[in-house]
Amino acid sequence: MSKPLPISVSIIARNEAHTLPRCFESVRGWVAEIVVVLNNTTDPSAEVAMRHGALVFETEWRGYRDTKNFALDRCTQPWALCLDADEEVSPALREEIEAFFARGDDRKFRAARFPRKVWFIDRWIMHGDWYPDHNTRLVNRAHCRWGGDQFVHEHMKVDGPIATLRCDLHHYSFPTLSSHVAKINPFADLFLQQQMAKGGRFSLGAAVFRPAWRFFRAYVLRLGFLDGFPGLYIALATAFGAFVRYSRLYEHEHRDTPNQK
């Protein structure tokens, strides 16, 4: 076996014992270290992670940005590969990452981004809002940090050039339609917190036109119709999710209880 690459895999997770093994197997043997940070976990995630040789830490939930930075700070290798528990590195992406280091690109670039491909219902989604969904996940820890909003929409801030790789990171985010629908309210909660923190207000125009725009962009402009019925579902569900988020602002500003007679 060749020497592992100078990479720490960085994962944050909560109750992901069922998804972690697939993620671990996709990096087994070619990275130097796996770091898993758990928060409020009640399942055997810690035991599963340690069985696969991972270093396990626990912390309270700090929001996506700060929890991911907490994990990044526990890594010891110069490079980190930041993964979600329900993701896996495809064999093609692994080869491309190995070539990145073999060419010496780790001395030219501070990070690398690559497309993320979602398996949904019965197929890989190749169009619409879900693909190619480029993510900057392979990072030089001395020059990169998670930034963005405290509540949602965290992103990697990079001090220097970013390489673009071609091969896909695989994402198994929604095993069922029910699991996808169940995400609408939690994301609406985060959106409301974000808007309240910056003084956002309800807008009828935004509540009507943003969902319509999201559907048109995903299904027509980004060719979501080529993904068959799953593509239609994703475009409609994305529009509905936007409608729920903006409706939550209305509810927050106008919610009242009837006068007691």
| Upper half-sphere CA count for residue 50 (Cβ side, 13 Å) | 8
pLDDT at site 92: 98
Does 183 lie in the same domain as 113?
A: no
Does 16 lie in the same domain as 79?
A: yes
* Cα 203–chain centre separation: 28
In a domain, 30, yes or no: yes
In a domain, 202, yes or no: yes
SS3 (DSSP) at 236: helix
pLDDT at site 194: 85
What is the residue type of 215? F
**Beta strand pairing call for 31-38 and 55-58:** parallel
In a domain, 16, yes or no: yes
In a domain, 248, yes or no: yes
Render pLDDT for 68-81 as a digit per residue (tens, 0 to 9). 999 999 999 999 99
Does 168 lie in the same domain as 50?
A: yes
In a domain, 111, yes or no: yes
17 vs 83: CA distance, rounded Å = 15
* pLDDT mean over 124-146: 97
User: Model's pTM, two decimal places?
Assistant: 0.90
* pLDDT mean over 115-137: 97
109 vs 107: CA distance, rounded Å = 6
Domain boundary among 152, 174, 196: 174
What is the residue type of 19? T
Q: What is the CATH number of the domain that holds 28?
A: 3.90.550.10
SS3 (DSSP) at 247: helix
* Cα 192–chain centre separation: 19
Our count of domains for the chain comes to 2
32 vs 7: CA distance, rounded Å = 6
* pLDDT mean over 239-259: 89
Does 184 lie in the same domain as 156?
A: no
In a domain, 260, yes or no: no
Does 101 lie in the same domain as 23?
A: yes
- How many residues in the chain? 261
Which residues in the chain belong to E strands, given as ranges? Answer: 5-13, 31-38, 55-58, 79-84, 87-89, 111-114, 116-120, 123-125, 135-140, 144-148, 154-158, 162-164, 169-174
Does 43 lie in the same domain as 21?
A: yes
Does 136 lie in the same domain as 27?
A: yes
105 vs 29: CA distance, rounded Å = 21
pLDDT at site 197: 85
Give the percent of the chain with pLDDT over 70: 97
**Beta strand pairing call for 111-114 and 135-140:** antiparallel
What is the residue type of 11? I
Position 2 confidence tier, pLDDT thresholds 50, 70, 90: confident
* pLDDT mean over 133-162: 92
Share of the chain residues as helix, strand and coil, in percent rounded to the nearest 5: 45, 25, 30
* pLDDT mean over 240-254: 94
Does 124 lie in the same domain as 22?
A: yes
Domain boundary among 119, 139, 174: 174
* pLDDT mean over 114-136: 97
Does 168 lie in the same domain as 54?
A: yes
Does 136 lie in the same domain as 10?
A: yes
* pLDDT mean over 160-166: 98
pLDDT at site 153: 73
In a domain, 261, yes or no: no
Find out whether 152 and 194 touch, Cβ atoms under 8 Å: yes
Residue 118, domain extent: 5-174
* pLDDT mean over 151-174: 93
* pLDDT mean over 100-105: 98
Does 142 lie in the same domain as 224?
A: no
User: Is the predicted pLDDT of residue 212 greater than 90, yes or no?
Assistant: yes
Domain boundary among 132, 155, 174: 174
In a domain, 144, yes or no: yes
If you search the block for the tokens 């309270």, which residue do you land on?
60
Least confidently predicted of 56-60, 108-112, 176-180:
176-180
Does 161 lie in the same domain as 195?
A: no
